Amino acid sequence: MTAKEFLTENREEVINYFNNEIKNYWNVSLKDFMTDLLVNFRKITTGDDFKKFDLFGNLNEAKSRLGNMDAKIEVEFDRDAYRMSKAPNGQWAAIL
């Protein structure tokens, strides 16, 4: 059995894990998470066939890699506009 076949059999477990542990906390799609899991899947237990421990161990490893997959949002900060908004009576030059 290959890793792809094993993950296909346990698809519901992966989706449930994503919905409970990842969806509300990380900015990553299910497709990206599942692709990362498939690409980096490795056998953890000894023996020939895959076990549930292999699945959950790899799910936790995929969760630990999420910082690399998370989409970043950049926000520009206008210092002068911020200072003008905080200045009393529009006297922002006195704050400088």
Name the residue ranges covered by the structural domains of the chain: 3-94
| Token pair of 92 as six digits | 């922002």
Which of 55-64, 72-81, 87-96 comes out lowest in average pLDDT? 87-96
| Token pair of 52 as six digits | 């549930």
Asked whether the beta carbons of 49 and 55 are under 8 A apart, the reply is no
43-54: per-residue pLDDT in tens? 998 888 899 999
Dihedral over Cα of 16, 9, 62, 26: its sign: negative
Residue-level pLDDT at 81: 75
Asked whether the beta carbons of 53 and 44 are under 8 A apart, the reply is yes
- Neighbouring C-beta atoms of residue 8, cutoff 10 Å: 12
pLDDT over 70 (residue 92): no
Q: Which of 46, 48, 57, 59 is nearest to 12 (CA)?
A: 59
Q: Helix or strand or coil: residue 1?
A: coil
- DSSP 8-state assignment for residue 7: H
What is the pTM assigned to this prediction? Answer: 0.65
